[in-house]
Amino acid sequence: MNIDNTASENNAASAVLPSAPASATPTPTPDVGAPAPSAPTPTPDVPERTPASSTHAPTYAPTLKPAHPQYAYAGYAYKPYEMPENLFKPRAVDFIFALTAFALGYLFAQFVLFTWKGWGVTVFSASYIFISTAYLIKKDAFAMSGASLFWMAATLLTGASYALWENAGLAVVRSFFLFFSAVYYIITASGNAVMRKTSNYLILDAINAVIILPFRNFANQYVSFAVLKREEKSLKKAIPVLIGILTAILLAAVIIPLLVRADSGGFRVITNFFLDYFTVHPEIITEAVIYGIFAIPVAAYMYGLISGAAYKKGTEILKPCSDKDALSNLRFIQSATVFIALGAVCILYIVFILSQIPYIFSAFTGSRPAGWLIYSEYARQGFFELCGIAAINLGIITVANMTCKKHRKDSKLLKLFNISFAVITLVLIAAAFSKMALYIHAYGLTIPRLLPCVFMVFMAVVFIALIALQKWDFSIVRLALVSGSVMLCVLFLVNPDALVVRYNTDRYMSGTLSEYDPEILHRSGFAGVIPAIEVYESTPDEQLRQEISKYFYSLITSSQKRDTNEQSSESRQAISALKRSSD
């Protein structure tokens, strides 16, 4: 609404000036015959605003930038959205957390970085969750929600699985999932997810958590030491304590050799024990130095992530509003173009399925199609075909729904195409699953055969959700991420290596599996000890017994080289079983 500046200023001034009391000035009596006063000139319709100097003026936090001049109008202030400066101003709690972060980094370097095994990973995971949560609560930055509790549980359960099982076949998958869940927990617990929860903007959240927050705040840990300069009085109190500790160390260095010479034997035994320990095990000092060096960047990364999330420094780079606007700008393709393209691809898929019925569905009958003599090639090609087609279908559906000028909610035809693509993919998933089941029945179960089955179940859940999305509105990315995370956590906790070996052992002992593959035992690690003992004691095959003996020897050798923190309860039980069987 265009209003003349002078008029608006006069109106504003009249609004600010207080009206005189009625009793202060008597009302003058107009002269008889005097002309009647003219009617007041109407003023434009100006919305009432609160003066900037008024006690009712909107207040801003000290960390907010001043309003831009374009929002100031005739001495009045609008209240636009202002991005806080989010400067990292360390306090005592930040300094304490900086020291704690270095301890966490040392734990990570010693128990996780070089091994990813045993109860050491469990201790680190629990310590990480406890310390980071306590810091966020202390900084009033903890946002309890269903998402934060879910990712806290996912991190703790995945970490606990390291103390229970070896899970050698899932080592890479489990390590990546533990890292992702631990980092993503900080984003959700601090309320810094793009949509304040797990949403379709998962990729933006991942970039923010893994890259932007940690590296933009990488120096925060060292900046927090500035607290020491501000707390000079506390330092003055601590200086005598430090001088006393140093003096005690120097006196002990002088007195201990004299006491050893005057000792009759008891004190010498105590001192020699510590000296001999570090003399016989010099690698302890070397390892401590190496772990300390790696702990420095690891601690800075963790401190940058957690402190950046608490101070929200760097969280403004990825904004949901701008991303929504960018997505709306992508809708530039006419609906007819999208529908013709989707219809042509659907017809192509239907023709392909009808022409390949014997090849695609023969596994449901327990037989291979003509020309396929090897189960592994038949099943493997079916699985990779599924992956390719599922990825292509997801890409086609995503691009079509993002670029079509007509939104899915307003187009029944677009919904129909989405359902058609989902149904076609589900049919191919079922066919590929039947092929893998035929392969497992012929040659037994392995982790490389189990994981595709789990992945196909996950893909089926996603495409079923895609069908449901055409009627109900929800975040399909959140559903896919939560369902996939639940599947992985269950897989980590049920010990799939032991399930694989037990499945093959039971089938071999019952006669339904013709050959027992000892290579599966080596891949399973300590999980295969008890089933291997059963096969060793019952099989008449001498060559198989020799292969199992080699497996036992490799386990005993590897256990002797491992520290206690790298051992799980499963490995300790397996070694005890081997000792009992040898006796």
pLDDT one-digit tens code per residue, 469-525: 998 888 888 999 999 999 999 999 998 998 999 999 999 999 888 888 888 888 888
Looking at the domain assignment, is residue 486 inside a domain?
no
Q: Spell out the residues 6+ positions from residue 339 whose beta carbon is closer than 8 angstroms to its own.
A: 413, 414, 417
CB hemisphere CA count around 461 (13 angstroms)? 18
Exposure string of 479-503, with b = 16+ CB inside 10 Å and e = fewer, is bbbbebbeebbebbeebbbbbbbbb
In the structure encoding, which two tokens stand for residue 392, read together?
Answer: 């292509």
The predicted pLDDT at position 215 comes to 93
DSSP-assigned letter for residue 51: B
Spell 507-517 as b/e; 16+ CB within 10 A means b.
bbeeeebeebb
Biggest CA pair distance of the chain? 135
Do 289 and 347 lie in one domain? The reply is no
224, 99: one domain? yes
Q: What does the alpha-carbon distance between residue 291 and residue 107 come to, in Å, rounded to a whole number?
A: 8
Q: What is the pTM of this model?
A: 0.72
Tokens of 470: 């055409």
Give the pLDDT score at 214: 92
pLDDT at 369 (0 to 100): 67
| pLDDT for the residue numbered 540 | 87
* Same domain assignment for residues 376 and 323: no
CA distance 443 to 438: 9
Q: What are phi and psi of 51, to 5 degrees?
A: -60, 145
Residue 270 is assigned to a structural domain of this protein: yes
Q: Which residue among 274, 309, 329 closes a domain?
A: 329
**Residue-wise burial string across 26-51, b where 16 or more C-beta atoms lie within 10 A, e elsewhere:** eeeeeeeeeeeeeeeeeeeeeeebee
My answer on whether 283 and 143 are in the same domain is: yes
Bridge-based pairing state of the strands 76-77 and 72-73? antiparallel
Choosing from 481, 510, 543, the residue where a domain stops is 481
Q: Which two tokens stand for residue 181?
A: 């869940």
Cα 286–Cα 288–Cα 293 angle in degrees, nearest 5: 100
Q: For residues 165 and 527, is the Cβ–Cβ distance under 8 A?
A: yes
Q: Is the distance from CB of 299 to CB of 221 less than 8 angstroms?
A: yes
DSSP annotation of 27: P
With respect to residue 49, please indicate whether it lies within any of the assigned structural domains. Answer: no
Count CA within 13 A, CB hemisphere, residue 385: 21
466 vs 394: CA distance, rounded Å: 10
| C-alpha separations of 481 from 17, 198, 397, 488 in Å | 60, 8, 18, 11
Query: E strand or H helix at 211, and its extent?
Result: none
In a domain, 28, yes or no: no
Q: What angle do the packed helices 476-493 and 171-189 form, to 10 degrees? A: 130
Domain co-membership, 182 together with 257: yes
At 501 the three-state DSSP class reads helix
Per-residue pLDDT of the chain (583 residues; tens, 9 = 90+): 444 444 444 444 444 344 444 444 444 444 444 444 544 455 444 444 444 444 444 444 444 444 434 333 333 333 333 444 447 788 888 989 999 999 999 999 988 888 787 888 999 999 999 999 999 999 999 988 888 999 999 999 999 999 888 888 888 899 999 999 999 999 999 988 887 778 778 888 888 889 999 999 998 988 888 777 665 555 556 667 767 777 887 777 777 666 666 655 666 666 666 666 555 566 777 888 898 899 999 999 999 999 999 988 877 766 655 445 555 666 778 888 888 999 999 998 888 888 877 777 766 666 666 666 576 676 666 667 777 788 788 888 888 888 888 877 878 888 999 999 999 989 888 888 888 888 888 888 999 889 988 988 998 999 999 999 998 888 888 999 999 999 999 999 998 998 999 999 999 999 888 888 888 888 888 888 888 888 888 888 889 989 988 888 888 887 766 665 556 666 667 777 776 766 5
Q: In this structure, what are the phi and psi dihedrals at residue 142, rounded to the nearest 5 degrees?
A: -85, 125
What are 58's two structure tokens? 């909107």
Whether 438 and 315 map to the same domain: the answer is: no
A 10 A CB-CB count for 162 gives 28
Which 8-state DSSP code applies to residue 201? Answer: T
C-alpha separations of 113 from 88, 124, 175, 291, 453 in Å: 29, 11, 10, 9, 30
Tokens of 305: 């992530």
Does residue 185 sit in the same domain as residue 289? yes
Torsion of CA 46, 51, 52, 57, to 10 degrees: -110
The vertex-136 CA angle with 134 and 142, nearest 5°, equals 110
Give the whole-angstrom CA distance, residue 92 versus residue 94: 5
Are residue 367 and residue 390 in the same domain, yes or no? yes
Kindly state whether residues 441 and 568 are assigned to the same domain: no
Express each pLDDT in 157-192 by its tens digit. Answer: 999 999 888 888 888 899 999 999 999 999 999 988
Inside any domain, residue 78: no
Q: Does residue 181 sit in the same domain as residue 116?
A: yes
CA 228 to chain centre: 34
What distance in Å separates the CA atoms of residue 527 and residue 497, rounded to the nearest whole number? 6
Same domain, 178 and 250: yes
How far is the C-alpha of 204 from the C-alpha of 200, rounded, in Å? Answer: 9
Query: Is residue 524 one of the residues assigned to a domain?
Result: yes
Identify whether 416 is part of a domain: yes
User: Where do we find the tokens 């959140």?
Assistant: 478
pLDDT for 62 equals 42
Cα(261)–Cα(258) distance, rounded to whole angstroms?
5
DSSP secondary structure code for residue 196 in this structure: S
- Which structural domain, as residue segments, surrounds residue 93? 89-329
Domain-ending residue, one of 329, 348, 381: 329
Tokens 């095959």 -> residue:
541
Cα separation values, 187 from 150, 209, 238, 307, 316, Å: 12, 6, 37, 11, 13
Could you tell me the end-to-end alpha-carbon distance of the chain, in angstroms, rounded to an integer? 95
Residue 116 backbone dihedrals phi, psi, to 5 degrees: 55, 45
What span, in angstroms and rounded, lies between the C-alpha atoms of 526 and 551?
Answer: 10
Q: Count how many domains the chain has.
A: 3
Q: How many CB atoms lie within 10 A of CB 390?
A: 21
At 570 the pLDDT is 66
Q: Does residue 407 lie within any of the structural domains?
A: yes
Cα–chain center distance at 40: 67
Task: State whether 273 and 148 are in the same domain.
Answer: yes
The two structure tokens encoding residue 279: 């003399």
Question: Taking the C-alpha atoms of 462, 207, 221 and 98 in order, what is their torsion angle to the nearest 10 degrees?
Answer: 0
In whole angstroms, give the CA distance from residue 440 to residue 277.
53
- The count of other CB atoms within 10 Å of the CB of residue 534 is 14
